[in-house]
């Protein structure tokens, strides 16, 4: 019971931290103000941002798995997928002309930027902990 409570609390803290980081990225990109008119439906930029945020999520999952099992290919996939997500998330934010609700995909772009950095970090830690990296030092 105590462990379950700690896991739930940790998950809530992680979600709050993720939301705060996404908001920070939106403020830093000067696209945090909601749109004057809301666009409903799927636009091209929203589709782009959705695909990129899914790629970033894959990077986080594979990076986490690479930490558990130090597989060289998983580390490389996590690093490359995270880098692609960060670059495309930044491009989505750079091309945005409005805030959330404008149809530009800014929330997805910011989420991809944050998740891509997390995935790259997990892949980097897994790479540093891999047996091959430890053998190169000696």
Q: How far is the C-alpha of 33 from the C-alpha of 39, rounded, in Å?
A: 14
Is the pLDDT at 53 greater than 90? The verdict is yes
Q: Whole-prediction pTM value?
A: 0.82
The per-residue b/e assignment along 86-105, b for 16 or more CB within 10 angstroms, e otherwise, is bebbbbbbeebebbbbbbbb
Q: Are 82 and 59 in contact (CB under 8 A)?
A: yes
Mean pLDDT of 116-127: 92
**Domain residue ranges in the chain:** 2-137
Rounded (10°) angle between helices 44-68 and 72-95: 150
The half-sphere exposure of 65 on its side-chain side, counting CA atoms within 13 A, is 14
What's the pLDDT at 132?
A: 66
Higher pLDDT, 132 or 5: 5
Average pLDDT value for the chain: 86
Lowest mean pLDDT among 55-59, 82-86, 131-135: 131-135
């Amino acid at each position: 019971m105590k462990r379950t409570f700690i896991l739930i609390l940790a998950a809530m803290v992680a979600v709050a931290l993720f939301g705060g980081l996404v908001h920070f990225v939106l403020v830093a990109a000067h696209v945090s103000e909601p749109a004057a008119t809301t666009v409903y439906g799927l636009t091209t930029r929203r589709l782009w941002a959705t695909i990129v945020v899914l790629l970033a999520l894959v990077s986080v999952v594979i990076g986490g798995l690479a930490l558990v099992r130090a597989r060289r290919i998983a580390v490389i996939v996590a690093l490359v997928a995270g880098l692609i997500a960060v670059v495309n998330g930044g491009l989505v934010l750079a091309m945005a002309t409005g805030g959330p609700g404008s149809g530009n995909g800014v929330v997805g772009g910011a989420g991809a930027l944050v998740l891509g950095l997390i995935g790259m970090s997990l892949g980097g830690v897994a790479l540093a902990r891999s047996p091959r990296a430890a053998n190169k030092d000696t």
